[in-house]
Amino acid sequence: MPIFCEKRQLVMPGDLLAEGDYSAGDNTYRENNKIYATRVGLADYDKRGLYVVALKAFYIPNVGDLVIGKVVEVGFGNWTLDIRAPYLATLRASDALDRPFKPQQDDLPSIFDVGDLVLAKIVAYDRTQDPLLTVREEGLGKITKGQIIEIAPTKIPRVIGRKGSMISMLKKETVCQITVGQNGSILVKGNTSEDERLAIMAIRKIEQEAHTSGLTDRVTEMIRKEKGGVGNVPESK
Amino acid sequence: METSQKASSLINENGLRMDGRRLDELRPVKIEVGVLGNADGSAYIEQGKNKILAAVYGPREVHPRHLALPDRALLRCRYHMAPFSVEERKPPAPSRREMELSKVIREALEPSVFVEYYPRTSIDIFMEVLQADGGTRCASITVASLALADAGIPLRDLVAACASGKVEGHLVLDLDDAEDKKGEADVPLAFMPNLNAITLLQMDGMLSVEEFEQAVNLALKGCKQMYELQKETLRVKYVAVKEEVAEE
Amino acid sequence: MTYSIVAASLKQKQIAQSVSRGKRLDERGLTDYREIRIEPGIVERAEGSARVRLGKTEVMVGVKIDKGEPFPDVPNEGVLTVNAELVPLASPTFEPGPPDENSIELARVVDRGIRESKTIDLEKLCIVPGKRAFVVFVDIYVLNHDGNLIDASAIAALAALLSTKVFNYEVENGEVKIKPGYTQLPMRNYPIAVTFAKIQDKLIMDPSLEEEQVMDARLTVTLEKDGRVCAMQKGGYGYFTVSQVLEAVKMAQEKAEELRKIVVGG
């Protein structure tokens, strides 16, 4: 039962990955006992089967994901948000108010208006309905301070890093609060706009060099240089 | 004004065509992917004198809403020729030919897309022919397929296309405009090699059943070469961004 | 009375099971055509016409001849133009408005069959080279859609052309003057379109509307009187394998002979 690709091999749609009784994981499909890639990416396999880590993909909502969305429409009893996905997301008035919507009393635009950015979580999503959001948890709601940077959703894992190593370093070095939306939008909140600018620069660098190794160290060095001090390569954790 | 034409031959005594090609040779091809900033995916092809740009937007919400399909994405295709793309200026409004080609091109690409993954959305494919010299529907399919891959839309396979035909009694591959106009037959074909699937097949002219079979095999040969070029284009672009992605 | 074209999934299963056993829901064999009825000359005001019924699909074709100008690149030939209309009364899915991609495709496929096989002797329709020629307008009017509009339209177009009479004329001082009497439209070939639907990997001829709603893909092969292929069109979201295409062409050759006898006679 042969596997035709190597680990981390660049594959493209239609490339034959394996033949036989393997399971078809992410970004693959099975036809006539053969497994093929569906997207450009790096092929890999484990005991569960074959899969491809896509290099180019758009964000597909998952229940539980933290996302940053932009209000594009204020409806009757709800808001519609653009979360940079194939589907627009809905936030119900009753969710934001934490009680039933009272049309006579409640003025929705005063809570969230068109153009506002909102940090929310996806509570429901399936084939028959657009994603449903909630802002009822701690920390969720309208974004009033800080700056937003949008990157390709496939690079988000790199920004977080192995066991959160990259993002902890970023937070520490830039002294910023960094909230990562799974949909590729990242909120950076610092004490000064200079700190925020540094964080954004660092994230851009990660996005561009995501394919290289030793990135954590290089980004740290870059931040320190920018801050004015001589960059010392920190001890790796 | 009529230009008087001597009986100029499209194929000379050595079996070479006007541009020096052998009967079964493709025109020079150059393809690039990711050329437009706004589109979700894009690609550009030059094949002989053909210059065609393709862009993909989607999957995205369908406008108008009532066209949305409950269980799959709606694939929409627009094949359009720029007014300056042909010898005699072509008026910008879609012609009947462009409408037919938009349809057959859509039907050529659709079997490759996993439309069932994105219900209630649309995937819009736009192809603009900037300069035309025969075989534009095939080149458009080839470049649109790459634009779909560049948009990160999951595909069963790339779709590669090429036309064969009969010119002055010989079966030839990849006809240019002069050969198409003066030749005896034209057979455009699009193919997905993995599934052995012919997704576009048209013919006009006159061929015996045996000649038709030979023409199909010749076109398939051309498709396979285009397919390799498509893969090479993606490889060249992405080998530079091979990622080490953090393990969860 | 049904307004929806969504095929019930149960019906889809029925058709699929039936086809894999070599039969269709209406008891036809996989290569059987529905009953064909042709009525030529049905519109007396037109120079040529025919109404064709292929099962419940009904198509009318009218041929009008007018004086016009030849195309500059072929100054010695008359002009052929084919148009199709999917009028709203023919189906709940046809909407009024300018021709959509389906009616354009239909017209162009029928046109290719007639044009590429040189059915009409266009040189005989030249009146004054470079200046005046006859223009043959073939208008396809679909009256009821129950599948396989292409074959029905192609048969109707051929029957209409066979019934077409061109008015006699003489050229006087560069002006075309109509004389009494008519001549039969000069024809050299008799193209026949044979359309297949692919269902469950089987090729079935002359698909009904129900079958078209569940098919993977469609292939039309047009053959002229000597058995040569003069037009081909694949349609639908699916695909054909190479061997299916080649098999279809051979099957179409045989069937076209049969159908040609019905339309042209003898």
Task: Report yes or no on B14 lying in a domain.
Answer: no
- Chain A and chain B share a number of CB contacts under 8 A equal to 109
Asked whether residue A158 carries a pLDDT value surpassing 50, the answer given is yes
Whether the per-residue pLDDT at B8 is higher than 80: the answer is no
CB contact under 8 A, A29 and B114: yes
Considering only CB atoms, which chain B residues are within 8 Å of A127?
71, 119
Domain encompassing residue B42: 29-234
Whether the per-residue pLDDT at A236 is higher than 70: the answer is: no
CATH number at residue A164: 3.30.1370.10
Name the residue with higher pLDDT: A201 or C265: A201
Tell me the average pLDDT across A117-125.
96
CB contact under 8 A, B156 and A86: no
Q: Is residue A234 part of a domain?
A: no
pLDDT at residue C56 in the model: 94
Q: What value does the mean pLDDT of chain B take?
A: 91
Q: Which of B194, B187, B177 is nearest to B222 (CA)?
A: B187
| CATH code for the domain of B55 | 3.30.230.70
Which pLDDT value is given to residue B1? Answer: 40
CB contacts of B146 in chain A (<8 Å) are: none
Residue range A34-63: mean pLDDT, rounded: 92
Residue A119 domain flag = yes
Q: Is residue A1 part of a domain?
A: no
Least Cα separation, residue A209 to chain B (angstroms)? 8
> Coil, helix or strand for A139?
coil
- Per CB-CB distance under 8 Å, the chain A contacts of B243 are 42, 53, 55, 154-155, 158, 210-211
Q: Considering only alpha carbons, which residue of chain A is nearest residue B240?
A: A211
Contact between C191 and C223 (Cβ < 8 Å): yes
The Cα of A23 is separated from the nearest Cα of chain B by a number of Å equal to 16
* Residue-level pLDDT at A234: 53
Closest-CA residue of B relative to C239 is: B199
Percentage of residues in chain B with pLDDT exceeding 70?
93
Asked, for residue B23, whether it belongs to a domain, the answer is no
> Which residue of A9, A10, A35, A38 to mutate against B (max B Cβ within 10 Å)?
A38
Shortest alpha-carbon distance between residue B235 and chain A (Å): 8
Residue A231: band (very low, low, confident or very high) from pLDDT cuts 50, 70, 90: very low
Same domain, A152 and A132: no
CATH number for the domain harbouring residue A130: 2.40.50.140
**Within a domain: residue A76?**
yes
Interface residue B164 vs chain C (CB under 8 A): no
Contact A39 B243 (CB under 8 A): no
> HEC string of B143-157?
HHHHHHHHCCCCECC
Number of structural domains (chain B) is 1
Q: Quote the pLDDT of residue B4.
A: 38
CA distance B242 to chain C (A): 34
Residue C150 CB neighbours (<10 A): 24
User: For residue B217, which residues of chain C lie inside 8 Å, CB to CB?
Assistant: 242
Question: Is residue A164 located within the same domain as residue A196?
Answer: yes
Query: Which residues of chain B does A166 touch, with a Cβ-Cβ cutoff of 8 Å?
Result: 246
Identity of the residue in C105, C230, C233 whose CB atom sits nearest the CB atom of B205: C230
Q: What residues in C contact B192, CB-CB < 8 Å?
A: 239
Give pLDDT tens digits for B176-195: 999 999 999 999 999 999 88
Torsion-angle region of C13 (φ positive above 0: left; ψ -120 to 50: alpha; else: beta): alpha
Q: Which residues contact C18 (CB under 8 A, 6 or more apart)?
A: C24, C25
Q: Which of A16, A27, A161 sits opposite B154 (nearest CB)?
A: A27
Strands (E), A77-213: 78-82, 89-92, 117-126, 129-134, 141-142, 147-150, 176-180, 185-190
Identify the domain containing residue A27 by its residue range.
9-54
Distance CA A225, CA A192 (A): 18
Containing H/E element for A68? strand A66-74
Chains with ≥3 Cβ pairs under 8 A against A? B
Q: Which of B192, B195, B202 sits opposite C233 (nearest CB)?
A: B202
Query: Mutate which of B238, B239, B247 to disrupt the A interface (most A C-beta within 10 Å)?
Result: B238
Q: Is residue B15 part of a domain?
A: no
Compute the nearest-CA separation of A179 from chain B (Å).
18
- Condensed to tens digits (0 to 9), the pLDDT of residues C21-57 reads 888 988 899 999 999 999 999 988 899 999 999 999 9
**Mean pLDDT of all residues in A172-199:** 92
Look at residue B54 and tell me whether its pLDDT is greater than 50: yes
A236 in reach of chain B (CB within 8 A): no
Confidence of residue B7 (pLDDT cuts 50, 70, 90): low
| CB < 8 Å to B199, chain C | 234, 238-239
- How many CB atoms are closer than 10 A to CB A5? 20
Alpha helices per DSSP H over chain A: 93-97, 108-111, 156-160, 165-174, 193-208, 215-227
Q: Check residue B195 and report its DSSP letter.
A: G
Instruction: Give the residue, B134 or A194, on which the prediction is more confident.
Output: B134
Q: What is the pLDDT of residue B209?
A: 97
Going from the C-alpha of A202 to that of each of A67, A178, A180, C146, C155, the distances in angstroms are 21, 12, 14, 64, 70
> What mean pLDDT do residues A52-62 have?
92
Given a cut of 90, whether residue B162 has pLDDT beyond it is: yes
Alpha-carbon distance B57 to B118, whole Å? Answer: 13
Domain count, chain A: 3
**CATH code for the domain in which residue A30 is found:** 2.40.50.100
Please compute the mean of the pLDDT values over residues B95-100 and round it to a whole number.
Answer: 96
| Contact (CB, 8 A) for B205 and B57 | no
Of the partner residues C99, C217, C249, the one whose CB lies closest to the CB of residue B212: C249
B235 to A31: CB separation less than 8 angstroms, yes or no:
no
Q: pLDDT averaged over chain A?
A: 90
pLDDT-derived band at B145 (thresholds 50, 70, 90) equals very high
Judged by CB atoms closer than 8 Å, whether chains meet at B248 and A157 is answered as yes
Report pLDDT for C22. Answer: 87
Residue from the list B99, B102, B192 with its beta carbon closest to the beta carbon of C239? B192
- The answer to whether B102 faces chain C, any CB pair under 8 Å, is yes
Among A13, A54, A127, beta carbon nearest to B157: A13
* Cβ contact B106:B122 at 8 Å: no
Pick from B60, B234, B244: CB nearest A86: B60
Task: For residue C57, give the H/E element and its range.
Answer: strand C57-68
Element (H, E) at B99: helix B96-109
Tell me, yes or no, whether B248 lies in a domain.
Answer: no
The superfamily in CATH containing domain C19-264 is GHMP Kinase, N-terminal domain (3.30.230.70)
Q: Is residue A120 part of a domain?
A: yes
**Average pLDDT score over residue span B92-105:** 95
Which tokens in the block code for residue B189? 């074909």
* Buried/exposed code over B106-127 (b: 16+ C-beta within 10 A; e: otherwise): bbbbbbbbebebbbbbbbbbbb
Do A72 and A123 share a domain, yes or no?
yes
CB pair distance less than 8 Å for C238 and B2: no
What is the arithmetic mean of pLDDT over B227-245? 79
- Cross-chain CB nearest to C104 (options B96, B111, B195): B96
Taking the Cβ of residue A121 and every Cβ of chain B, the question of whether any pair is shorter than 8 Å is answered with no
pLDDT (0 to 100) of residue C178: 84
What number is the ipTM of this complex? 0.88
Would you say A3 and A17 are in contact if contact means Cβ atoms under 8 Å apart?
Answer: yes
Chain B residues lying within 8 Å of A59, measured CB to CB: none
Q: Is there an interface between C and A (3+ Cβ pairs < 8 A)?
A: no
* Inside any domain, residue B49: yes
Q: Which of C101, C108, C240 sits opposite B102 (nearest CB)?
A: C101
Do B243 and A36 count as a contact with CB atoms less than 8 A apart?
no
Residues of chain C predicted below pLDDT 70: 1-8, 266
A48 and A85 part of one domain:
no
pTM flag (> 0.90): no
